[in-house]
Amino acid sequence: MQKDRDMERIKARELLLDRYVLAVDSGDLEGMTAALAAAYEASREDPEIERLIAEIDQAYREEMGLTPLEADARLVRELLRRCVPSAFETHVQLQRPLTVGDVASRLLAQGRVRPGDEEANRALLGNTTLLPNPVTAPMVRKLAADLGAGGSDLYWRSFRDEALTMGISRSHDQAQLAARERRARRRPRQDDKKKHD
């Protein structure tokens, strides 16, 4: 019975791979999309699928002379920092005051920038101006005027909301990080104590 189940799993897996390879070989983007979606669904039950598709993609890249782009990975990490800063926060970064660029990046990452405000938000990415303290509505209006930035009233209301949220979240993260560090410092002393007991 188990052998039959294994056979069925292998059959389904190979069929999926064949459809993926067929679509890529034939330049069929729709077919490849469907096969990739099927691979994602299948990966819930068969974790091997992810590895096999990754290996096949690697084979294609080698075949087409698209070797790994290590140098570009550094640029991607920088991209990540702008769009998903929470993935990279360290103790030093948590202590750093929030900037206009931080908030603009977060709004972009959350998909909260309306089409008409995209240009205004893009202009603020990477801006190192510190946020006002406190982040009141009049202070944010003054900030927008000082920066000469565009953007609708709704955009700047979202900006202020996100600035407040990030401020609260950062305080929370700082407290958690401090607690983790205290625990880490205590652990060796506790281990030493156990050794000598």
Residue whose structure tokens are 């897996």: 13
C-beta of 46 vs 167, nearer to other proteins: 46
C-beta of 93 vs 110, nearer to other proteins: 110
Please report, as a single letter, which amino acid is at residue 127. Answer: N
Calpha distance 157→165 (Å, rounded): 12
Calpha distance 163→104 (Å, rounded): 9
Compute the residue count for the chain.
197
Of the residues 109, 123, 139, 177, which one makes contact with other proteins according to CB under 8 A? 109
Of the residues 94, 98, 108, 139, which one makes contact with other proteins according to CB under 8 A? 108
Of the residues 10, 154, 168, 175, which one makes contact with other proteins according to CB under 8 A? 10
C-beta of 110 vs 171, nearer to other proteins: 110
Give, as ranges, the residues between 21 and 80 that touch other proteins (CB under 8 A): 21-22, 24-33, 36-37, 39-41, 43-44, 47, 49-50, 52-64, 66, 68-70, 72-73, 75-77, 79-80
Burial class (CB in 10 A: 0-12, 13-18, 19+), 145: exposed
Which ranges of 26-152 would DSSP assign to H, the alpha helix? 29-43, 48-63, 70-83, 91-95, 100-109, 118-124, 137-147
Calpha distance 66→164 (Å, rounded): 44
Q: Is 14 in the site for other proteins (CB under 8 A)?
A: yes
Q: Is 130 in the site for other proteins (CB under 8 A)?
A: no
Q: And the tokens for 23?
A: 């679509």
Of the residues 1, 5, 9, 17, which one makes contact with other proteins according to CB under 8 A? 17
Rg of the chain taking only CA atoms, in angstroms: 25
Shortest distance (Å) from residue 79 CB to other proteins:
6
Calpha distance 168→173 (Å, rounded): 9
- Name the DSSP letter for residue 106: H
Q: Which residues bind other proteins (CB under 8 A)?
A: 7, 10-11, 14-15, 17-18, 20-22, 24-33, 36-37, 39-41, 43-44, 47, 49-50, 52-64, 66, 68-70, 72-73, 75-77, 79-80, 83-84, 86-88, 108-111
